[in-house]
Amino acid sequence: MVTGSAGFIGGHVAETLSAAGHDVVGLDLRDGADVRDAAILDTLLPGVDAVVHQAAMVGLGVDVSDLPDYASVNVYGTAVLLAAMARHRIGRLVLASSMVIYGEGDYECVWHGRVRPGPRAVPDLEQGRFEPACPQCGEPVRCASIGEDASPDPRNAYATSKLAQEHLTANWARETGGSAVALRYHNVYGPRMPRDTPYAGVAAIFRSELAAGRAPKVFEDGRQLRDFVHVRDVARANLVAVMAPARPGALRAYNIASGAPHTVGEMADALAAEQGGPTPEITGGYRLGDVRHIVASPERAGLELGFHAEIGFDAGMKEFARS
């Protein structure tokens, strides 16, 4: 069963699983099936061997008024799903998690080695000082790739809800002997990405602006590093996770990323070039929930799942700009 099967990522996951020969049962709120409804789950789960949980409220959100929805859909919905899986003795779960649980990425200080800066100060952001400093000495630091064993530090409601999903899933695995994989998606983009919504990813927002003839507005100085991973690669990661050897009683997390980071400004420029402009605008603005750099280490996914992203940034952005 794929939850969120009519959504952007969930739809691609369901198609990829079906193409690989799996019989897929879909559950999606757009079809009137809510993951928070235990009665609906009890009608769909009999005969299911594994659940791929994609259903979620996504994005940074608008303001604190979104808090109840993130808690209800992402946290409570996952709890209802896990309880139903236990009732029906379904012992395999692939969870759509996110790199946002890390907060700020890993950095290297010449004096203190690997460090994790805390939230950036508002006065620094207002004055255009966007790069974090070493939390121990205050000296400049260099961005480094982050692995799955890094301590979580969620900075917004969505991130907190995704970390809660992982914790609940780990509880379920320990108590039932189930096997769980958390796929920590980095910045996913590709065909069928939602348009014209504040809950969409930055790539979709930029594409919508360009389609309307407006210059994409890039926050900060545009030099924020991210790992943009194509949705078809993400769907394939779910397939290999479903087929991976079970780890009874445990949750295992994996970064799902391209391994080739680019700046947000580079992504905006690539989309603008493909659509013939207008040129992106660097605004110097900021959002408190954002982090400066987050770059993935995809090594564990390669070693343990055999997953390696295949769609490069240039080809992927060309396709996305016209999708």
Q: What is the extent of the structural domain holding 172?
A: 2-105+146-322
Residue at 112 is within a domain: no
Number of independent structural domains in the chain = 1
Residue at 50 is within a domain: yes
What does pTM read for this prediction? 0.96
Q: How many residues does the chain have?
A: 323
For 81-107, write each residue's pLDDT tens digit: 999 999 999 999 999 999 999 999 999
Residue at 114 is within a domain: no
Using the structure block, give the residue that is written with the tokens 């983009």.
Answer: 189
DSSP alpha helix (H) spans, the chain: 8-19, 38-44, 67-69, 77-87, 122-126, 157-176, 202-211, 231-243, 264-275, 299-300, 313-321
What is the SS3 assignment for 204? Answer: helix
For 161-199, write each residue's pLDDT tens digit: 999 999 999 999 999 999 999 999 999 999 999 887 665
- Please enumerate in sequence order all residues whose Cβ is within 8 A of that of 215, keeping only pairs 6 or more positions apart, or say none: 209, 272, 277, 278, 279, 280, 281
Residue at 237 is within a domain: yes
Indicate the residue type of 61.
Answer: G
Is residue 289 scored above 90 in pLDDT? no
Residue at 132 is within a domain: no
Residue at 85 is within a domain: yes
Residue at 115 is within a domain: no
End-to-end CA distance of the chain: 27
For 97-153, write each residue's pLDDT tens digit: 999 999 999 999 999 999 999 999 999 999 999 999 999 999 999 999 999 999 999
- Here the CATH number for the domain that contains residue 80 is 3.40.50.720
Q: What is the mean pLDDT of residues 228-244?
A: 98
